[in-house]
Structure 1
Amino acid sequence: MDFPVTRIKGGVGAPRGFQCSAISCGIKNPAVERLDLALIYSESPCTSAGTFTINRVKAAPVKLSQAHLRKGDLRAIVANSGNANACTGVQGVNDAKLMCKAVAKPLGLTRSEVGVCSTGVIGLPLPMTRIEPRFDELVEKLGSGQGTDVAKAIITSDTHHKEIAISFDLGGHRVRIGGCVKGAGMISPSMATMLCFITTDANVTRDNLRKAVLEGVDDSFNRITIDGDMSTNDTVLVLANGRSGMPSFRRGSALCKQFRKALNWVMLELAKAIVRDGERVTKFVTVQVSGARTYLDAKLVAEAVCKSALVKSSWNGGDPNWGRVLHAVGYSRARIREELVDICYDGKPACLGGLQGPTPMDELREIAAQREFQIDINLNQGDAEYCMYSSDLSPEYVDFNRSEYAYWKQARKDGLV
């Protein structure tokens, strides 16, 4: 960041004029008390923008939130964990509508001013008998300083909640951006399996915000992968209420560029947090591709390496197997020449010109054994580059994802299947 930014507490509740709440409904398991229903509300009208999964199978809340954004701007977000409300047909759409209506009415909003998100197991109807009676309490608990509760309420297989908030000077006014994210498995580029909510008190026009969000997502959440899977519920929603008091800025102005940089930074920090908390992962690996003929070639190479099960397995074993990296480069469909490719681990050459590099294998093993390291791939054919963030693939990941039987067992008790 080329301007000073201060980290502050509060997550999505840090910007002025936003209130948050979260409660426990026992959505996944009524015997376990954990936060699983959350609400974000702006006291003032907002501009809003969002991005969603490109999976052709989309959850009911994704379809409804997309429709609401097409109608106008959002002013509130209601979200649950423990159940994705995906592949649930007409009932799922009706349940998503009910969630919006239940918080809109007491807040004096229209249903279309509420975004709705769900995350959890796919294919089961929401246990509305436990959720519906709790909406009044959810609204009544709205207040400042509760952004962290929202971050806690949306996690599923995450080991901890993930949030960030910053403040910075923008045009002589102190502006805040706050965000939270969930995601640990089913993470792949083109959105990744995640929910992300961001609030800001900057005064941003809808067109400027939409472009800033698209740019930010492309540079962050579209550059991470854990297991190469894409979910049905991926959503990023951003609300801006202008409560900082700053005037609106013009597209392309210095203030606009500064705001975009700040938003991009927040999104990238949240994206990296997802990878670091991946399901049973042990490594955080940055893959930097340079020297490509085109941006697309660089992207293809980075994605091939980061998604390779063989490469990710070698990372798990602390094995600096540059041959696996090179073979992924070769099948990436990018235009490359084997004899020009260089591969380095934390700056130490493992492969030069497609052949074994001069760095002793013991030195490379020390690097690959670290919790975090970087692999640089230089194609030496041009100036284009692309960066991605990935993880290893562990035996524990497979074990963790072998069965969701317990969810279905509870669903039978609830009479949902």
Structure 2
Amino acid sequence: MELTKEQKYWRKRIFALTWLAYAGFYFCRKNLSVTWSSMETDLGLDNSDYATIIFIYSLTYTVGQFVSGYLSDWFGPRKVVSVGLFLAAIANFFLGISFSLGIIIFLLALNGLGQSTGWSGLVKNMTPWYRSNERGIVMSWWSTCYVIGAFLATVFATYVAFDMEFLSELGWKRGYFFPSAVLLVVAFVYALFTRNGPEGINLPIIVGDKYVTTANGTAGNREILKLLIKNRALWVYSSCYFILKMTRYAFLFWLPIYLEKSLEYDASQAGYISSVYELVGFFGVILAGYSSDRLFGSKRFSTVTIMMVGLALTCLVHPVLVGYGMAGTLISISLIGMATYGPDSLICTAGAMDVGGKKGTGMAAGIINGMGSVGQMFSGFIVVAINENFGWDSLFEFFVIMSLLGGGLAALKWNFKSPDRYIN
């Protein structure tokens, strides 16, 4: 069915607004890793405190993922994500005036709850607007929201916390005040201008649902959840995402600290260098999307397998590459970024949409991202344990093993393609 002019306009509008919303979330997520060394010194904290903070943040984020997916399917993503955006912005602002470990943990727990509404809700928001055979490519471009968002957030937090002359007496605290202001603006824009689906603005439906009916008529959320739980592909995606998100958040929270404490760059250099992880990771996202749709006919697991094996190989040679100075470090971080973000984006966007359908995407994305967030939750303790007992290089060896395990799991579903029964 040919799309109308209004449908095409709204697809672009929803794409832009949801992209902006998730990129905005990162302004109140990446600033912690950038400012931690300074906070640690000023507040008398250490790496064990940092691991605890990450655990509590990740715990609320993980629990919130499962709940937010269900709520987005029930109440619609516009309401759920809007609340999350405002909550994350407010909690982040008060982090700039925090003065104890307990207060930091409480505020980051609130931030985690707000952040947890983002992914499942926004993927749900995109689902009614794009057909399944478009999603690999469309969602690869859309997934750049968290790659570019993380890059911009890292650079922005580094600049306002360390290099900006305005309010210089506040120091690292500016790394919370200004990002929260950015997210507050994004929250208002999203809440005012987005819509849940075509039917909400009297436009023809673009896609139907593969879970349309049951023996008793239209499937409700509980019936769809039961069908999802029985879907093996969902659990393979979730297992791979557990590994990928554990790896990605280890880099997200610890890369600036590793660069500063192990490779002896100063705080500003470490912040800017670490941003390359997301900057070049952008190309991995696009590569994964085109590969899954064009090379493998929308078979997502094939691309996931290849890129996770690539991640293992890159982590294996990382200790050698950093021996060549900044150039080698930048190359290694760039390759790791591509090999991480590529399969990561594919699983939690097109993969979740394929498995969940129009009615169940929020729940599918919530389950996949929630399982991934369990890996995220323990990533800080894993980094501290391996680093303190065996050194930083052993951490990369650990990622080699985990990436090969994830690639092996994905290979079990190499030829899987979602049984698409969408109305096109």
TM-score (norm 2): 0.27
Instruction: Name the larger-Rg structure.
Output: 1
Higher-helix-fraction structure: 2
Higher-strand-fraction structure: 1
TM-score (norm 1): 0.28
